[in-house]
């Protein structure tokens, strides 16, 4: 509960969701927070966003609880001897815990994905298809989960039958239905998008400590090395499934495939550790099969501690864990935005402020604020726009580091054109 505020979370996209949701609530027509669209979550958000950020964050937490519950049911179905510690580890893996308290779509998709996985193992393919289609409606990349689930759903003969065909058609049909509003509003261009590739150091961090936490990734790495060099131990393993059986082999193949598909997708566009969330249940299932039971329990303990101890970022290591660090960042970012808005309210000259990643936090926080019509905030500026504003006598400001972001996107330097840093009284992180 203490982590459900302030604001919608550290991720600027969560604030974009809130902004789009408010527009939908006011106009009644679909508005994408960003393309290619996340229609199911955006529509749900539009129905509750007026109750404030706490309620929207609490909805994510509720979806997280449902995801955890169905992951536990999945482990029981797989005859896991350590369902409780594995479930706690799943819930407290830092990337899950942090997304539980912010207004992003990941927990809604994860809830439907875990229900789909459970129904697949139960042989309820009709409902599995509906649930996976709903997950796709919240984020298109959940479609990659279709292949692992299809493998798990195969009959003993290994040949797909009408049930598998219906499963695929229902999944794709339900998922497609959710994107009809996106297509009607933005047409085919909405399904094509590109973004800058981040530095490799950032990619490495997001896929390791950014996902597992410092304690989690260290323990996982050590246990993997130990397992590779020492082999199995007598207490093999947490999952009571014989890998020599058809069922065991399919579970192994499906888990490896699920991990591989989402890892490939992440490598293609590695902007956020959260993109790897759909792979987490497959990773834990695979490790429960591969590690000894003792090793797996050590990992579960480490992951359960990971959100509370030793946060790591580009400035160093901090004793409070990722969830505390995330909350501290949220608080300081809101304070910075308030300081920016205080200065903007006092400005009288024609001023354009390049806010970049801060824009939607400024819009969301300053919705009730009033400032001069001659003061505008924009996301980024291309060269022609910048020259146009300067020719009309406007002063161009930029928030911290957004001149670098603007240069990466548009290939020119704002300071060289005469833009200056924004004179806020508080510094950002």
DSSP 209-265: HHHHHHHHHHHHHHHHHHHHHH---TT--SB---TTSHHHHHHHHHHHHHHHHHHHH
Evaluate if residue 299 carries a pLDDT over 60: yes
Give me the phi and psi of 185, to 5 degrees please: -85, -35
Is residue 427 assigned to a domain? no
356 and 301 share one domain: no
Beta-ladder partners of 378: 354
User: Which residue has 């090793």 as its token pair?
Assistant: 295
DSSP three-state, residue 422? coil
> What is the H or E stretch that residue 109 is in?
helix 106-121
User: Which residue has 């390791």 as its token pair?
Assistant: 208
Is residue 400 assigned to a domain? yes
What b/e readout covers 21-37, taking b as 16+ CB neighbours within 10 angstroms? Answer: bbbbeeeeebbbbeebb
Count of the separate structural domains present in the chain:
2
From residue 319, give the alpha-carbon distance in Å to each of 112, 131, 323, 332: 35, 40, 11, 18
72 and 201 share one domain: yes
Average pLDDT over the chain, rounded to an integer: 92
**Cα atoms in the Cβ-side hemisphere of radius 13 Å centred on 30:** 22
Which bin fits 316, alpha (ψ -120 to 50), beta or left (φ > 0)? Answer: left
Angle between helices 293-305 and 83-92 (to 10 degrees): 30
Q: Which of 293, 320, 347 is the last residue of a domain?
A: 320
Is residue 428 assigned to a domain? no
273 and 381 share one domain: no
112 and 215 share one domain: yes
Is residue 398 assigned to a domain? yes
Task: Determine the pLDDT at residue 336.
Answer: 94
Residue 82, C-beta contacts closer than 8 angstroms, at least 6 positions apart: 238, 288, 293, 296, 297, 300
Evaluate if residue 190 carries a pLDDT over 70: no
229 and 358 share one domain: no
133 and 243 share one domain: yes
User: Percentage of the chain surpassing pLDDT 90?
Assistant: 78
Task: Determine the pLDDT at residue 189.
Answer: 64
**Of 244, 336, 232, 353, which Cα lies nearest the Cα of 294?**
232
362 and 304 share one domain: no
How confident is the model over 242-250, as a mean pLDDT? 86
14 and 138 share one domain: yes
CA 24 to chain CA centroid, Å, is: 22
176 and 287 share one domain: yes
> What is the H or E stretch that residue 112 is in?
helix 106-121
Residue 273, C-beta contacts closer than 8 angstroms, at least 6 positions apart: 95, 206, 207, 210, 211
Q: Which of 320, 340, 355 is the last residue of a domain?
A: 320
Counting every residue written for the chain, the total comes to: 429
pLDDT interval class at 229 (50, 70, 90): confident
Residue 5, C-beta contacts closer than 8 angstroms, at least 6 positions apart: 53, 54, 57
Per the structure, the complete domain to which residue 394 belongs is given by: 326-421
Decide which of 274 and 158 is more confident: 274
End-to-end CA, the chain: 25
Contact 309, 300 (CB under 8 A): no
In angstroms, how far apart are the furthest CA atoms of the chain?
77
Q: Which of 289, 320, 351 is the last residue of a domain?
A: 320
Task: Determine the pLDDT at residue 396.
Answer: 95
How confident is the model over 284-288, as a mean pLDDT? 96
Evaluate if residue 126 carries a pLDDT over 80: yes
CA 242 to chain CA centroid, Å, is: 34
166 and 288 share one domain: yes
Here the tokens at position 270 are: 């590695």
Region of poorest pLDDT, from 3-7, 94-98, 404-408: 3-7
What b/e readout covers 213-242, taking b as 16+ CB neighbours within 10 angstroms? Answer: bbbbbbbbeebeeebeeeeeeeeebbbebe
237 and 90 share one domain: yes
How confident is the model over 12-36, as a mean pLDDT? 93
Is residue 165 assigned to a domain? yes
245 and 343 share one domain: no
The count of other CB atoms within 10 Å of the CB of residue 135 is 31
Task: Determine the pLDDT at residue 46.
Answer: 97
């Amino acid at each position: 509960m203490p982590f459900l505020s302030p604001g919608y979370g550290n991720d600027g996209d969560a604030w974009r969701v809130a902004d789009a949701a408010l527009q939908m609530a006011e106009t009644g027509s679909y508005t994408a927070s960003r393309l290619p669209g996340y229609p199911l979550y955006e529509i749900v958000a539009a129905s509750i966003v007026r109750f404030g950020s706490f309620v929207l964050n609490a909805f994510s937490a509720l979806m997280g609880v449902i995801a955890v519950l169905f992951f536990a049911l999945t482990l029981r179905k797989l005859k896991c001897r350590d369902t409780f510690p594995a479930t706690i580890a799943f819930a407290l893996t830092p990337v899950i815990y942090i997304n539980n308290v912010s207004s992003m779509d990941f927990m809604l998709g994860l809830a439907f994905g875990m229900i789909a996985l459970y129904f697949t193992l139960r042989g309820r393919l009709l409902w599995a298809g509906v649930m996976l289609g709903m997950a796709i409606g919240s984020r298109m990349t959940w479609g990659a989960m279709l292949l692992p689930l299809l493998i798990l759903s195969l009959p003993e003969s290994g040949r797909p039958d009408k049930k598998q065909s219906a499963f695929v058609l229902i999944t794709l049909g339900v998922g497609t239905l959710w994107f009809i509003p996106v297509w009607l509003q933005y047409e085919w261009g909405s399904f094509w998008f590109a973004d800058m590739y981040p530095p490799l150091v950032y990619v490495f961090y997001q896929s390791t400590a950014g996902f597992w936490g410092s304690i989690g990734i260290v323990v996982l790495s050590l246990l993997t090395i130990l397992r590779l060099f020492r082999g199995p131990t007598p207490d093999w393993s947490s999952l009571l499934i014989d890998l020599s059986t058809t069922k065991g082999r399919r579970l192994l193949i499906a888990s490896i495939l699920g991990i591989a598909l989402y890892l490939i997708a992440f490598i293609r566009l590695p902007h956020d550790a959260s993109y790897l969330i759909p792979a987490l249940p497959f990773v834990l299932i695979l490790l429960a099969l591969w590690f000894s039971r003792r090793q797996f329990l050590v990992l579960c303990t480490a992951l359960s501690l990971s959100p509370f101890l030793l946060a790591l970022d580009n400035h160093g290591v901090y004793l409070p864990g990722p969830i505390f660090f995330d909350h501290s960042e949220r608080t300081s970012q809101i304070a910075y935005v308030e300081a920016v808005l205080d200065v903007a309210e006092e400005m009288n000259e024609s001023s354009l402020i390049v806010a970049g990643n801060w824009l939607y936090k400024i819009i969301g926080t300053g919705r009730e604020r009033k400032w001069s019509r001659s003061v505008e905030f924009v996301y980024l500026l291309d060269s022609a726009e910048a020259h146009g504003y300067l020719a009309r006598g406007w002063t161009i400001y930029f928030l911290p580091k957004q001149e670098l972001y603007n240069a990466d996107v548009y290939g020119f330097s704002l300071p060289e054109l005469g833009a200056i840093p924004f004179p806020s009284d508080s510094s950002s992180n």
